[in-house]
Structure 1
Amino acid sequence: MRRRLLALVCATGCLVSACGMLPGGHGRKTVTVWLMKDSASEEFLRRFTGDFERTHQDLRLDIRIQQWTGIVEKVRTALKDTSGDGPDVIEVGNTQVPLYADGGRLADLTLESMRDWGKDQWLPGLAEPGKDGNAQYGIPWYAANRVVIYRKDLFEAAGISGPPKTRDEWLADTEKLNSGRNQGIYLAGQDWYTLSGFIWDEGGDLAVQKDYDWKGTLDTAAALRGMDFYRRLQALGRGPVGADEEHPPQAGVFAGGQVAQIVAVPGLAQSIVRQNPGLKGKLGFFPVPGKTAARPGAVFTGGSDLVVPQNTRDQFAATAVVGALTGATWDTELARTMNYVPNKTTLTGAVAGEEGVAAMAAGAAHGRATPSTPQWADVEADNPIKEYMTRVLRGADPATEARRASRRITEELTPSL
């Protein structure tokens, strides 16, 4: 996950006991933990550190907040450090784990996750990118994903009694909402994360691995069905076919007052209301509908995993921190504090009282992540999926364009020798 919600600062660049907030650190081993900016509130980290150091009296936490800008190279450098002064635990974006695991620089935490950490209940969109073969390197911490943000008043005016439960209902309701000056939905033409969910629902994928080779698979029948649904839904609004959801920012478009729905993370509702206070109390949330009412649609799951570098000074101490942060007590507390989805499907009841987060949790139970290969970052750098979507929405033959995009994905996923 690439963005967070709250700022977290300490003048010396570290937090909690490392900043002198807790006495009695003499004689303890220090565990250095890198967490990303805005992942947790200062108050949460104070409470967690106090509890952890009370229950682990031989350990002291040194929590250091990192910026997302430039973090990949900083982590790579830390993983190669042989001085013993690097971090013992690192928060990383869930889709970044394959990048760091490549080359054997992360500790294998399979035994701990099987024995103590309830891996069978982990959200798949967090757990799968953290795994390579039978080895678990990334331990799920928290998740966030897209839902449908909608105007309750426009739904009511159109005679729609409640959120749709299936894709067919969603199309029918959106067509009713698409009248006069109002757009039934604002869906940019290059919102490939949303497209991915439709492809997964059809049983397709962006790319698959056979033996050791990856291949783009947008040209499969299942993936083409996902693109066809995207085309039909996108046509019920006036989203630009040649741009993604940030160009222009869809929160601003929604705030204009003539859009009934967007697909976005629930937190975007705060930005919408700031830009148009008249929408306060009029926004609702529902999971992206699935093919049947039996379950919501698949969604791209973002979020963070915790990893332990192979060069940690004390793997036992590092895993104690990971176990505490990702355990039921503190993972639930983090989700409530920051409006995240907890890392296990069995913990989603903790956020049931928040409409937007509850909608996220319903989708996250069936969420996925991008293909688990270090080379996927190369695909996103000049994303052929976006070009493919624009060409199809402008009337080009979907099968031809899908083959073209799949070839480009395959090329990017083939490491240079």
Structure 2
Amino acid sequence: MKIRFPAVCAALAAAVALTACGTLPGSDGGDPEKVTLWLMKGSASEGFITRFTETFEREHPGLDLEVKVQEWTGIGERVNGVLKGTSTETADVIEVGNTQVAQYIETGGLSELTLEGLRDWGGKDWLKGLSDPGSVNGAQYGIPWYAANRVVIYRKDLFEAAGVKDAPKTRQEWLAATQRLDKGAQQGIYLAGQNWYVLAGFIWDEGGDLAVEGGGAWSGTLDTDQALAGMAFYKQLHALGEGPEDADEETPPQAEVFARGQVAQIIGPPGQVAQIEQHNPALKGKLGYFAIPGKTADRPGAVLTGGSDLIIPQKTGNRRAAIEVISALVSEKWQTELARTMSYVPNKTTLAHVVQGNDGATAMTLGAAQGRATPKSARWADVEAENPIKPYMTAVLNGQDPRRAAKTASDRISQVLSSDR
């Protein structure tokens, strides 16, 4: 077993790779076959990697598992090099961000994993926000590994003082509670004007989308009635605080704003609680979580699902051993271990119970059941790089005509998605 961690730290994410050659372990009694696994920095703890590697090697005595922890910077080019066979690096299994799979499918060189996914890995119970981006035309190339999504982080003491006893279950209950919390210097919610991740969930709840494919071409759809209804709700919620109209949730970091003590709620990943408490230790024990409310009480609101999928390059010299690695990583044992260690959402709705006792992760699992991913276009990353959604949101919050602003943004999204790079 070899585990290599680069010196530079990076953000949470996802890319795992595995190199091997030959046949399944133990078939010839010779030396163990080397299998190399790439993990993005932060996707799993060093302790998890060590435990997984030792157990995997013990259960597969003919395999020598080498783990290499990678950085995000430049990872797309490196993964494409492995898939195309133009790199000196090789891989048998690669963990990639769920919204990146479409790019790698376009690159080519991925093994289809439809049969294994449905037969061995419980595909019928996968989170849609992880499985849908990993498929094209009914063929599965990306296998869900773990997920994370946004929840509402709130001040328990401020809710109690305002007479809000129960976490809201519907949008209207949420608005009513937030209105009661928005008084004087206290903000009912801090919602930055350009938090398009949150807007996407509201649009999906209304039956709309950011972009759709038809006749082989993609079109932006922010100007549909459904998408406009999602933006209208966003505007209502935004008005119950002092979030800037022309900045996103990182400008300034919303955790720092929340820590100042005059905000009742923010929408973000549960991990932001640690940042809040670091900035203001007096808030320790005063923070809680609930799933973003939906239009009706029978299900939470839709959320943008983040996380990772596992892929196998066609050029692997050891596909059967790569299947064994994925089988282990998506097994209930290691899904439970990963979810509890990292406070993630497991890859299946049927495993939501394994994070009971972790309030933040439990709130995430409720939302994850309604999770979605960004449009499954290989060009979507180009849309995010330019991001016409942000100025559209600012325009609406500043009083411009919503439909006209949405049409401008939709047209630009269509242009980017239809362009040749």
TM-score by length of 2: 0.92
Name the SS for the 1:102 alignment partner.
helix
CA RMSD of aligned residues (A): 1.7
Is 2:53 aligned against 1:49? yes
1:18 corresponds in structure 2 to none
Name the SS for the 2:282 alignment partner.
helix
1:225 corresponds in structure 2 to 229
Give the drift of 1:111: 1.0
* 65 and 160 in structure 1: CA distance in 2 versus 1, 3 angstrom threshold: same
| Cα deviation 1:250-288 (Å, max 9, x = unaligned) | 000000000000000000000000000010000000000
CA distance in 2, matches of 1:80, 1:210: 29
Which residues of 2 match residues 274-353 of structure 1 at below 5 A?
A: 274-353=278-357
- Of 65, 70, 73, the residue aligned with 1:66 is 70
CA distance in 1, matches of 2:256, 2:390: 22
- Of 127, 131, 143, the residue aligned with 2:147 is 143
Name the SS for the 1:330 alignment partner.
helix
CA distance in 1, matches of 2:358, 2:377: 34
Contact 2:78 2:87 in 1 (8 A): no
CA distance in 2, matches of 1:416, 1:35: 31
Percent of paired sites with the same residue:
61
| Cα deviation 1:321-350 (Å, max 9, x = unaligned) | 011101211111100111000000000100
* 289 and 83 in structure 1: CA distance in 2 versus 1, 3 angstrom threshold: closer
Contact 1:84 1:313 in 2 (8 A): no
Give the drift of 1:232: 0.3
CA distance in 2, matches of 1:85, 1:386: 38
Name the SS for the 1:356 alignment partner.
helix
Name the SS for the 1:413 alignment partner.
helix
Give the drift of 1:85: 4.8
- Of 368, 387, 391, the residue aligned with 1:387 is 391
**Runs of 4+ residues over 3 Å off in structure 1:** 82-85
Give the drift of 1:211: 2.6
Contact 1:291 1:297 in 2 (8 A): yes
1:410 corresponds in structure 2 to 414
CA distance in 2, matches of 1:262, 1:357: 16
| Cα deviation 1:340-381 (Å, max 9, x = unaligned) | 000000001000110010000100011000001110011001
2:368 corresponds in structure 1 to 364
Give the drift of 1:81: 2.2
CA distance in 2, matches of 1:415, 1:243: 27
Aligned letter for 2:265? Q
1:272 corresponds in structure 2 to 276
* 70 and 83 in structure 1: CA distance in 2 versus 1, 3 angstrom threshold: closer
2:93 corresponds in structure 1 to 89
Contact 2:80 2:107 in 1 (8 A): no
Aligned letter for 2:389? I
Contact 1:82 1:311 in 2 (8 A): no
Contact 1:84 1:312 in 2 (8 A): no
Give the drift of 1:104: 2.0
Give the drift of 1:26: 6.5
Is 2:12 aligned against 1:4? yes
Aligned letter for 2:60? H
- Of 199, 204, 217, the residue aligned with 2:203 is 199
Is 2:105 aligned against 1:101? yes
1:36 corresponds in structure 2 to 40
CA distance in 2, matches of 1:192, 1:46: 37
Aligned letter for 1:153? D
Give the drift of 1:310: 1.4
| Cα deviation 1:113-163 (Å, max 9, x = unaligned) | 011010110001111111111111111100000000000000000011021
2:162 corresponds in structure 1 to 158
Give the drift of 1:46: 1.5
Contact 2:293 2:301 in 1 (8 A): yes
Name the SS for the 2:68 alignment partner.
strand
* 277 and 319 in structure 1: CA distance in 2 versus 1, 3 angstrom threshold: same
CA distance in 1, matches of 2:281, 2:73: 32
Name the SS for the 1:404 alignment partner.
helix
CA distance in 1, matches of 2:292, 2:83: 38
TM-score by length of 1: 0.93
Contact 2:83 2:108 in 1 (8 A): no
Is 2:253 aligned against 1:249? yes
Aligned letter for 1:357? A
Is 2:264 aligned against 1:260? yes
CA distance in 2, matches of 1:396, 1:338: 43
Aligned letter for 1:144? A
CA distance in 1, matches of 2:246, 2:328: 45
Is 2:190 aligned against 1:186? yes
Give the drift of 1:298: 0.2
Aligned letter for 1:319? I
Contact 1:183 1:258 in 2 (8 A): yes
* 182 and 26 in structure 1: CA distance in 2 versus 1, 3 angstrom threshold: farther
